[in-house]
Amino acid sequence: MSKKNKIYWFEGVTEKGVKSLLNEEDSKFRWLRPQRNRRVLVILMAIGLVLTSMGSYWPTLKTNLNLSSEVGLIVYSITAIFVILATIGCYSFLRIAVRSIADAPDELLDERQIAVRNTSFRYAYFILGYVILALMVMMIFGPELQMFQSEGNNGSYVVIATLFACAALPSMVMAWRERDI
Amino acid sequence: MLLSMSRNPEEPVYNRIEEVRASLGLSRQDLADKAGVHYQTIGYLEREEYSPSLVLALRIAKSLNQEVSELFSLTPFKKGK
């Protein structure tokens, strides 16, 4: 009889999902585990975050590129969908690469894994401070942003990228730092 | 540098886990299952890259039928002890 799969809503993981990733027998994602591959994923994720945030500045970029509004809209829509899906894909692979340790609750981890997760959150918090600082500098000195407006630079992409960064940074730090996961 | 800060600046804890485990014919996974940790944590302990809590040290000692003092030390063990 199968045991009920507990869902950790706050952490966004399931008991079976984390246990399956922690189990080395599950070799489906072994190729993600070498530190080099994890670091490539972190770089791709960082590029995805930057590109997502750049979506807010598309109207300004479009003007600079001298694209017509029709061509601009098509390029913008295709690029936005591709970048966001690619970033979501990177984030999913990152979580798998670090066996969901960055998101798992204490009861599913051992004491070393808990220590690693906590250290990753500490570094992620520092880095997030710099991300917020960069955003503030961009908002002060960059092109003007507006929220939920059909015209002008739409600031919602910056918000989406920041939320992505909040969610992904602990996994990114862990994927970058840890020799063995 | 932010990302090059030392993970474990505290005094290292030396151990004989690998030696005793091998003498009992246990794999890392076997010991991990007995001690209730991930098998990689056993690897980190054996390489002395992670210092266990007192509870984990006691659990590992019990799993290997040893006293904690025979298994862990603040000074390096002599070879073949």
Does B14 reach chain A within 8 Å, measured CB to CB?
no
Give the CATH number of the domain where residue B64 resides. Answer: 1.10.260.40
Q: Is residue B46 part of a domain?
A: yes
Grade residue B3 by pLDDT with cuts at 50, 70 and 90.
Answer: very low
The answer to whether B4 and B67 have CB atoms below 8 angstroms apart is no
Q: Is residue B79 part of a domain?
A: no
Residues of A whose CB is below 8 A from B2: 123, 126-127
Q: Is residue B3 part of a domain?
A: no
**pLDDT at residue A28, rounded to an integer:** 77
Q: Is residue B78 part of a domain?
A: no
| Tokens 């990114």 sit on residue | A172
CB contact under 8 A, B38 and A112: yes
The rounded distance, in Å, linking the Cα atoms of A31 and A13 is 22
The domain locations on chain A are 13-19+30-101+110-177
Task: Please count the structural domains in chain B.
Answer: 1
The rounded distance, in Å, linking the Cα atoms of A92 and A29 is 12
pLDDT 10s digits, A156-166:
888 889 999 99
Does A111 reach chain B within 8 Å, measured CB to CB?
yes
Task: Look up the pTM and report it.
Answer: 0.84
The rounded distance, in Å, linking the Cα atoms of B22 and B20 is 5
Grade residue A143 by pLDDT with cuts at 50, 70 and 90.
Answer: confident
> Helix, strand, or coil here: A10?
coil
**pLDDT at residue A26, rounded to an integer:** 57
Q: Which residue has the higher pLDDT, A143 or A94?
A: A94
CB contact under 8 A, A180 and B44: yes
Distance from CA of residue A27 to its chain's centroid? Answer: 24
Residue among A22, A111, A113 minimizing CB distance to B53: A111
Nearest to A80 by CA among A92, A69, A88, A70: A88
Average pLDDT estimate for A85-102? 93
Instruction: Give residue B24's domain range.
Output: 12-69
The rounded distance, in Å, linking the Cα atoms of A121 and B53 is 21
The answer to whether A32 and A96 have CB atoms below 8 angstroms apart is yes
The answer to whether A103 and A11 have CB atoms below 8 angstroms apart is yes
Does A24 reach chain B within 8 Å, measured CB to CB?
yes
Tokens representing B6? 């030392």
Does B58 reach chain A within 8 Å, measured CB to CB?
no
Degrees to nearest 5, angle at CA B64 with B59 and B70: 90
Distance from the A110 Cα atom to the nearest Cα atom in chain B, whole angstroms: 5
Element spanning A13, H or E: strand A13-14
Residues of B whose CB is below 8 A from A30: none
Q: Is residue B43 part of a domain?
A: yes
CB contact under 8 A, B41 and A113: yes
> Helix, strand, or coil here: A161?
helix
Tokens representing A176? 């970058």
The complex scores an ipTM of 0.82
Does residue A175 register a pLDDT over 80? yes
pLDDT 10s digits, A97-141:
999 999 999 999 999 999 999 999 999 999 999 999 988 888 888
Q: Is residue B80 part of a domain?
A: no
Does residue B80 register a pLDDT over 70? no
Distance from the B45 Cα atom to the nearest Cα atom in chain A, whole angstroms: 10
Q: Is residue B33 part of a domain?
A: yes
Q: Is residue B47 part of a domain?
A: yes
